Amino acid sequence: MIEFLRTLVILLLFPTGLFLLFNAMIYQWIDRKLVARLQNRVGPKWYQPLADTIKLLANEEVFPEGTNHILFVWLPVVGLAGALTAALYVPILGLSPAYSFSGDLLVTVYLLSLLTLCLGLAGVNTRGQFSMLGATRTLTQLFAYEAPFLLALLGPAVVAGSLQINEIMAYSSQQWLIFTQPIGFVVLLVGLMGKLEIPPFDSPEAETEIVAGALTEYSGRGLALFRLGQWVELVVGLTLVAAFYLGGIHNPLDYVMKTVFSLLFIVTLQTTMTRLRIDQTVGLWWRYGTLLVLVQWLFIYLIEGVS
């Protein structure tokens, strides 16, 4: 009974569930506020993402003609569910993960990609010209950044000798991997930008070319759920970066400082670079991204071999 209640609280309230949704909105606000300040503007107030979500949930949902009704309604739900489930295995707010088992790193990465797949499918399902183009670009970008992103996450796993996020964090608390694997850190952060379609990798969602990409025909509840899923992914991604490379997360203050530091890095790249075309993104990733992460692995192998 206690176990059941505990599960319920974890899934619905804290640390995932409602708390995670609010956490995601706060991080989205920090991102937008930082970008605005760097561009010499004022930026939105703290409740802006919350207000956006509430407004979207209250909007009418328009169903385009010719789409599969079931897929249209349930793809956003599955995407958000994937993102929320991925958060069960990472140390949100410095508390130990709610559930932990050997190999949960790969499960988390897969669940994070679930949202991107749902996005691509949603774009193909709605069958407009802009949605199709956006969906194609989303899936192309998925194939581009997934390999370096995964390899950059596996770097700490290899040196820690385990695929469990808990144990990797315990290992990285002793030595900060940002100093021993700096290339991996950079690749992971830039890969996170690719996953979240943050500029300069926002070609799948290029506002001035294809309106809104895969989400062009979405409005109301579906759009709100997809956006929430993307914001939750931001939190999960930042937590992984902080846990692996920045010396683990031990208490809430630690969590906030380390994730905001990584976010600062992302925001700097976001404001100083222009959007890349999809073929340039893929070219960049498959050439430099993979090359850098393989160089990193070479170093890990050599150092492991020596020690």
Partner 1 sequence: MMSTINKSRRFTVPIGPQHPALKEPGHFEFVVDGEIVQSASVRLGYGHRGIEKAVESRSWIQNLYLLERICGICSHIHATAYCIGVEQLAGVTVPIRAQVIRTIVAELERIHSHLLWLGVAAHEAGFDTLFMYSWRDRETIMDILETLTGNRVNYSVNILGGVKYDLLPEHNEAIRMGLDFLEERTVHYVDVVTNDSLFLRRTQNIAVMSYEQALIAGVTGPTTRASGVKRDIRLDAPYLAYANYPIKLMIETHGDLEARFVVRLRELLESYQYIRTLLDVLPEGELKTRIPRRIKAGETISRVEAPRGELFYFIKSNGTDIPDRIHIRTPTLANIASVTHLVIGQHLADVPMVLIGIDPCFSCNDRMTVVDNEGSCDVWDGEKLRQYGIEYYQKRST
Partner 2 sequence: MKITLMFRDILKSLFGKPATEPFPNPEQIEPERLRGKLHWNPDGCTGCQLCVKDCPSNALKLFVIDKAKKEFVMRYDVGMCTFCSQCIENCRFNCLDMAQDEWALSASSSESFIEFYGKETNVKQLLEASTTDDSE
CA 99/CA 81 separation, integer angstroms: 16
Q: Toward partner 2, which CB reaches closer, 173 or 268? A: 268
Decide if residue 41 touches partner 2 (CB under 8 A): yes
Among 95, 107, 109, 79, residue whose Cα is nearest residue 23: 95
Position among 2, 4, 5, 39 found at the interface with partner 2 (CB under 8 A): 39
CA 262/CA 240 separation, integer angstroms: 11
CA 110/CA 267 separation, integer angstroms: 25
Decide if residue 269 touches partner 2 (CB under 8 A): yes
Position among 22, 268, 298, 303 found at the interface with partner 2 (CB under 8 A): 268
Decide if residue 64 touches partner 1 (CB under 8 A): no
CB of 40 to partner 2, least distance (A): 4
The region of 5-13, 50-58, 194-202, 289-297 touching partner 1 under the rule CB under 8 A is 194-202
Are the beta carbons of 126 and 204 closer than 8 angstroms? no
Query: Which residues in the 42-61 window bind partner 2 by CB under 8 A?
Result: 42-43
Are the beta carbons of 212 and 205 closer than 8 angstroms? yes
Decide if residue 272 touches partner 2 (CB under 8 A): yes
Q: Which does 37 bind (CB under 5 to 8 A by kind): partner 2, partner 1, none?
A: partner 2
Q: Hey, what are 100's tokens?
A: 């932990």
Decide if residue 268 touches partner 1 (CB under 8 A): no
Q: Hey, what are 114's tokens?
A: 């679930």
CA 261/CA 128 separation, integer angstroms: 39
Among 126, 117, 114, 191, residue whose Cα is nearest residue 152: 191
Question: ∠ CA 126-129-132 to the nearest 5 degrees?
Answer: 60
Q: Toward partner 1, which CB reaches closer, 127 or 221? A: 127
Decide if residue 202 touches partner 1 (CB under 8 A): yes
Q: What residue ranges bind partner 1 (CB under 8 A)?
A: 38-41, 129-130, 132-133, 199-200, 202-203, 206-211, 271-280
* Positions that interact with partner 2 (CB under 8 A): 36-43, 268-269, 271-273
